Amino acid sequence: MSCVVFFRMLSKRTSCVVPAESILAVRTVSSKARAVSCAFLNLARCYTKSTAPPRSGQMATIYDFTVKNIDGNDVSLKKYEGRVCLIVNVASKCGFTQQYVGLQKLHEKYFSRGFSVLGFPCNQFGSQEPASEEEIKKFTALKYNVTFDLFKKVDVNGDLASPLWSFLKSEQHGFLGDNIKWNFTKFLVDRQGKPVKRYGSTTEPDSLVSDIEEYLQKATHNSQAKL
């Protein structure tokens, strides 16, 4: 008999006489049921607490973060205020590395309208970005003519994850968990600095055109921001 049915039966009013020993037994069962219920409740609370996605303190937009560019210099992302941004974890030896071509095309097509691509090299997936920042900079320029902004190598998952990337993940959740699954995961950020879309590695840059157009048309007080 389930606990629910048992307690429903106890709650029904009846005129029959219940022996004292039966009352004692019921009280014992009731006490045990309450104890079990409390135990499960506490377990649920612990589970919820331990698996809740981490928050990034008081960070509300990408403008609250400072990162290092590919040359090792500090860059406040407030630099991009009023622009639509596409933030991508990139790698030089990945099956998706050809997406550099599409990312550069987006950069060239929309930069003057207030759009920026931000590339963050990452070596966490198959060790496919083993090069130094200087080598990455040369490789992307020579092979893909990349002129959009690149940054210092970062971790995007784990205890050493970049605070920016932890923020992005907490704002736009992923499929089967929030962790970044592979290279060339993309986050679209609106003119207010809020992450609004997340795309997986297999999403080609040229398929983002409609979304980019949509958010470029949403003006702000600083929508003409220039870099």
Q: 100 and 90 in contact (C-beta within 8 Å)?
A: yes
Q: Please report the sign of the dihedral spanned by the C-alpha atoms of residue 218, residue 219, residue 223, residue 224.
A: positive
**Continuous H helices in 87-154:** 99-110, 133-144
Domains of the chain, by residue range, sit at 62-225
- Compute the distance between CA of residue 129 and CA of residue 169 in angstroms, rounded to an integer: 21
DSSP 189: E
Architecture in CATH of 62-225: 3-Layer(aba) Sandwich (3.40)
pLDDT tens-digit profile, the chain (227 residues): 444 333 344 344 334 444 445 444 444 444 444 443 433 333 333 332 222 333 445 569 999 999 999 999 999 999 999 999 999 999 999 999 999 999 999 999 999 999 999 999 999 999 999 999 999 999 999 999 999 999 999 999 999 999 999 999 999 998 888 999 999 999 999 999 999 999 999 999 999 999 999 999 986 545 555 56
Catalytic residue among 16, 38, 46, 94: 94
**Catalytic: 46?**
no
Q: How long is the chain?
A: 227
